[in-house]
């Protein structure tokens, strides 16, 4: 075969995606059948005649050549793919909703077999044409305890299985949340009206059977019961089919066992997790399989179908030994703009030992899949970092009750945090009585630095207001030191399991912290690196300049020493700070006024 997508290798690589599409298409055909069938049952709420008239129309669809091929083809495909899914699944640990869907799906053929044989097979091979009244009489009048209960069970299982399948497919779609309430109403309403329709229809049949012996005799003459040979043949076919089904199921389970043995001989690879745990798995299993086998919580909203991207991991070591992403994996990763070391755990089948870093917390939800993708997957970008710290914090805690200290510190964090967010930044870490903030995770460097300067000015303003409000509680007003620097850092979601959060690491962070420390030395409120002013296009030339030595930097770093951040208001450039100021004045907390 030729190389490229049409080659055999290309076909194999696209296999999972093709299988998924077939499963979805066949599932939709079957769901349409069940949906229309339930609508037909609902007509029983009008009358038995309406049900039977509806069935005639349904037969025009499903007994036509196209309808027959579509329905039986879909059943054959969906059913075969269920066996295939059972085979390729490397472990049977799964979420409850998936487990329920699987269990219900495997129960359907057992229950539907007799019904299908009695209707369609009898029609084609024994020229028996049972209609609603026959089915209703057989299930609900002649044998309600067994046949009726069985039918209700099938009814519920088929609907639930279809709805779960649709839910798992749709829940990762963008507008699912908006349409979900309407779908839920439909999912409850249709089976309810269908069941009521069945009961009404059955009641009508029962009445006719009790009051009209001729009607009943006629019914018995035209049903399967009138042809004992056909009934016996259908029963034998059912028995053979059930045995075949059980045999196929046993074969698949045996094939899983054989494969596990073969794989164990084919070599193993080690997956090393951030906490140092190493999980050994046979080659051919995915990283998500490894997590599930070892019971390590790992986000996987779509259940490993390469639809959600919540399972993504960064490969820290061994990325050179990875197989290339399959087309389906590449398609999911492309919109994230992630680099080559970011892969989908559910699709990545490592060929050698690797160490990984899951990029989403285990409890990630559908909503998280598009959340701050660059930061989640780790990226290098220019940001402005601001450190703020309370001066003389020991005085603050001396001779105070713990409650008072916590109260004052919380007021302080509120004043500083609201200043940062009003300027467009993100408070990121609270370190004792200080805070680190990041500006520019979603803006350009100029705007990021402008926002950081504006935040410094607002911090001074908010603190003045706070000091005024707490005059009675504070012996001395709270003063702070602020350091701001901008530069390339690595932004990413870091931390331990569900405690992971987006943060920044890099030299720029250390420098900003160092500048904050320098405010004590220079006895000022703010120290800003020169690069922040030039990047923001904010002239800082009026403030004293110093060149400081920073470990790791070959050249001295020029900084500006600013006595009070309030002085910055007179030095803002035309943009972007002035834009921010407008937004901030509107967003200022109640009771806080500009000087």
In the complex with ligand FES, which residue's Cβ is closer, 301 or 384? 301
Shortest distance, CB of residue 555 to ligand FES, whole angstroms?
46
In the complex with ligand FES, which residue's Cβ is closer, 114 or 291? 291
In the complex with ligand FES, which residue's Cβ is closer, 342 or 408? 342
Shortest distance, CB of residue 346 to ligand FES, whole angstroms?
3
In the complex with ligand FES, which residue's Cβ is closer, 365 or 534? 365
Phi/psi of residue 476, nearest 5 degrees: -125, 145
Shortest distance, CB of residue 369 to ligand FES, whole angstroms?
8
Shortest distance, CB of residue 343 to ligand FES, whole angstroms?
10
Which residues contact ligand FES by CB under 6 A? 300-302, 304, 306-311, 332, 344, 346
In the complex with ligand FES, which residue's Cβ is closer, 16 or 54? 16
DSSP annotation of 55: H
| H or E element that contains 83 | helix 65-88
Which residue number places its CB atom closest to ligand FES? Answer: 346
| H or E element that contains 402 | helix 402-423
d(CA 162, CA 40): 17
Angle between helical axes of 149-170 and 15-42 (0-180°, round to 10): 130
Shortest distance, CB of residue 289 to ligand FES, whole angstroms?
11
In the complex with ligand FES, which residue's Cβ is closer, 302 or 480? 302
| H or E element that contains 278 | strand 278-282
Shortest distance, CB of residue 412 to ligand FES, whole angstroms?
42
Q: Can you tell me whether residue 311 is helix, strand or coil? A: coil
Dihedral, CA atoms, 69, 71, 73, 78, nearest 10 degrees?
170
In the complex with ligand FES, which residue's Cβ is closer, 364 or 390? 364
Count H helices, E strands: the chain? 20, 13
Shortest distance, CB of residue 367 to ligand FES, whole angstroms?
14
Do the Cβ atoms of 449 and 536 come closer than 8 Å? yes
Shortest distance, CB of residue 106 to ligand FES, whole angstroms?
23
Distance between the two ends of the chain, CA-based, in angstroms?
A: 77
In the complex with ligand FES, which residue's Cβ is closer, 29 or 301? 301
Residues whose CB falls within 8 Å of the CB of residue 531, separated by 6 or more in sequence, listed in order: 449, 485, 486, 487, 558
In the complex with ligand FES, which residue's Cβ is closer, 300 or 428? 300
Do the Cβ atoms of 308 and 369 come closer than 8 Å? yes
In the complex with ligand FES, which residue's Cβ is closer, 309 or 529? 309
Q: Can you tell me whether residue 528 is helix, strand or coil? A: strand
Query: CA nearest 315: which of 270, 370, 364?
Result: 270
| H or E element that contains 492 | strand 480-494
Shortest distance, CB of residue 333 to ligand FES, whole angstroms?
9
Query: CA nearest 485: which of 521, 524, 440, 443?
Result: 440
Q: Give Cα 364 to chain centroid, integer Å.
A: 6
Do the Cβ atoms of 557 and 548 come closer than 8 Å? yes
d(CA 239, CA 216): 29
| H or E element that contains 342 | strand 342-344
Shortest distance, CB of residue 357 to ligand FES, whole angstroms?
15
């Amino acid at each position: 075969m030729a190389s490229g997508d049409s080659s055999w290798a290309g076909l194999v690589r696209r296999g999972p995606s093709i299988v998924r599409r077939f499963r979805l298409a066949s599932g939709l055909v079957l769901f349409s059948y069940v949906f229309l069938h339930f609508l037909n049952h609902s007509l029983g709420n009008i009358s038995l005649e309406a049900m039977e008239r509806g069935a005639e129309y349904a037969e025009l669809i499903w007994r036509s050549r196209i309808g027959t091929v579509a329905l039986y083809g879909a059943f054959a495909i969906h059913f075969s793919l269920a066996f295939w899914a059972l085979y390729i699944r490397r472990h049977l640990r799964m979420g409850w909703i998936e487990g329920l869907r699987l269990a219900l799906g495997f129960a359907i053929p057992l229950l539907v077999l007799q019904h299908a044989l009695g209707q369609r097979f009898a029609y084609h091979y024994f020229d028996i044409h049972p209609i609603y009244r026959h089915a209703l009489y057989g299930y609900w009048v002649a044998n309600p305890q067994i046949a009726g209960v069985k039918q209700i069970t099938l009814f519920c299982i088929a609907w639930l299985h279809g709805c779960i399948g649709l839910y798992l497919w749709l829940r990762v779609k963008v507008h699912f949340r908006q349409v979900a309430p309407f779908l839920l109403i439909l999912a409850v309403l249709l089976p309810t009206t269908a069941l009521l329709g069945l009961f009404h229809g059955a009641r009508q049949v029962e009445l006719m059977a009790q009051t009209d012996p001729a009607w009943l005799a006629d019914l018995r003459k035209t049903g399967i019961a009138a042809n004992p040979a056909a009934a016996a043949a259908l029963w034998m076919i059912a028995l053979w089919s059930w045995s075949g089904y059980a045999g196929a199921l046993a074969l698949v389970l045996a094939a899983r066992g054989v494969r596990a043995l073969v794989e164990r001989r084919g070599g193993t690879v080690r997956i090393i997790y951030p906490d140092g745990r190493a999980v050994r798995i046979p080659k051919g299993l995915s990283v998500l399989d490894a997590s599930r086998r070892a019971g390590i919580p790992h986000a996987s909203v779509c259940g490993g179908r390469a639809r959600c991207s919540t399972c993504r991991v960064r490969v820290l070591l061994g990325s050179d030994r990875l197989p290339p992403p399959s087309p389906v994996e590449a398609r999911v990763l492309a919109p994230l703009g992630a680099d080559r070391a970011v892969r989908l755990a559910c699709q990545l089948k490592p060929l050698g030992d690797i160490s990984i870093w899951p990029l989403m917390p285990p409890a990630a939800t559908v909503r998280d899949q598009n959340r701050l993708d660059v930061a989640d997957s780790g990226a290098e970008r220019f940001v402005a970092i601001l450190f703020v710290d309370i001066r003389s914090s020991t005085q603050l805690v001396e001779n105070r009750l713990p409650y008072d200290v916590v109260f004052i510190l919380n007021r302080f964090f509120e004043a500083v945090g609201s200043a940062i967010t009003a300027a467009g930044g993100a408070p990121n870490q609270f370190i004792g009585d200080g805070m680190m903030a990041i500006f520019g995770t979603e803006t350009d460097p100029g705007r990021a630095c402008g926002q950081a300067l504006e935040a410094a000015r607002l911090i001074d303003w908010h603190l003045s207001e706070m000091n005024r409000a707490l005059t009675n509680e504070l012996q001395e007003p709270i003063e702070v030191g602020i350091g701001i620097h901008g530069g390339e850092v690595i932004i990413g979601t870091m931390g331990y399991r569900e405690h992971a959060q987006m943060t920044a690491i890099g030299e720029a962070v250390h420098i900003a912290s160092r500048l904050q420390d320098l405010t004590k030395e220079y006895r000022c409120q703010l120290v800003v690196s020169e690069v922040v002013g030039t990047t923001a296009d904010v002239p800082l030339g009026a403030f004293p300049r110093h060149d400081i030595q920073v470990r790791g930097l070959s050249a001295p770093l020029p900084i500006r020493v600013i006595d009070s951040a309030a002085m910055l208001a007179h030095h803002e450039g035309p943009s972007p700070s002035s834009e921010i100021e407008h937004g901030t004045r509107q967003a200022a907390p109640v009771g806080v006024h500009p000087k």
